[in-house]
Amino acid sequence: MSLIESALELEEIDVNYYRSRTLRIPLGGRGVFGGQIVGQALVAAIKTTPKEFNVHSLHSYFVLPGDNIIPILYEVERIRDGKSYCTRTVKAIQKGRCIFTLICSFTVTEPSGIEHQYPMPECLEELMREFVKQEKVPRWYAKYLEKKLELENSPIEIRNTEILEVNDLLYPKQSNNQKMWIKAKGKLGDDISFHKSAIAYASDFSLLYTAARPHGISPISKMRIGMLASLCHSIWFHDSNFRADEWLLYTMETPKAAGGRALASGRIYTQDGRLIVSVSQEGVLRLDKKKSKI
């Protein structure tokens, strides 16, 4: 079993009820990784849907942080089963409380008479491991990155598209966008529903952090983030012809931050330039006033 298959594995305990087997809290995180909860909830919904239907969109809200010590219970409600579309809602429950809700829609694939998309941007790629080796990296931050690489064992592999140097973190370029290559580790089967669940998991990586970039914020800059937490997460699947275990380009941008919240959106492309997924997320974004010199 690949890492992503293990991360999304559920135990069926009754009709419409499923339970998580593994839960992951990122290094320094407040709760279970949001992408894992989104992915597991989608897997639960898929298990109740006829095979000829593919998920085309989902919308979710994070209510409370997840605890990785006890399993999450996923309760699926079959809202509608139509000829072309069907709908499911999923509640994630821990300690008797709802910590997350999701509604998703499935459709039967049909030919399209109209097609268009955003063009795929050009980019380069870079490894975080190479960045750690640079001599000017503050030792505390290098150790953090080394520990992150060693302990997290993420099921998603990521390659930055920007050439990272120490000055890029000390004096970050102000930008409202970022790009990275992503793919699931290992070889997955041919079930497109699972590949979409893997993309749902991966779509939460770094998306909301895009909202810090217009202000020149980095982990070692003068301004620091005090709290970054997802509030809602939406995904639209435009295509069912892709593989999550092949490199995909994830482009992200942020249109607005205000009132202690930020909005970020993303687009995921195949290597041949097809736009397959669009993502949108709103979350809490607060500065660390003790460490930020403002």
Q: Which of 107, 109, 101, 5 is nearest to 55 (CA)?
A: 107
Residue type, 97: R
Q: Which of 134, 130, 160, 189 is nearest to 249 (CA)?
A: 160
DSSP three-state, residue 14: strand
Q: Strand locations in 95-176, DSSP E?
A: 97-107, 156-160
CB-based contacts of 121: which residues, under 8 Å, 6+ apart? 179, 249, 251
From the candidates 60, 193, 230, 278, give the one annotated as an active-site residue.
230
Q: Which of 183, 206, 179 is nearest to 123 (CA)?
A: 179
Q: Which of 103, 110, 111 is nearest to 86 (CA)?
A: 103
204 belongs to the catalytic site: yes
190 belongs to the catalytic site: no
Q: Return the structure tokens found at 193.
A: 């529903």
The span from the CA of 105 to the CA of 84, in Å, is 10
From the candidates 36, 60, 204, 278, give the one annotated as an active-site residue.
204
Work out the burial of residue 233: count CB atoms within 10 Å of its CB; fewer than 13 is exposed, 13-18 middle, 19 or more buried: buried
Q: What are 180's strand-pairing partners?
A: 160, 250
230 belongs to the catalytic site: yes
Tally of CB atoms within 10 A around 37: 28
Task: Answer for the pair 275, 267: CB distance below 8 angstroms, yes or no.
Answer: yes
Show which residues are catalytic: 204, 230, 281
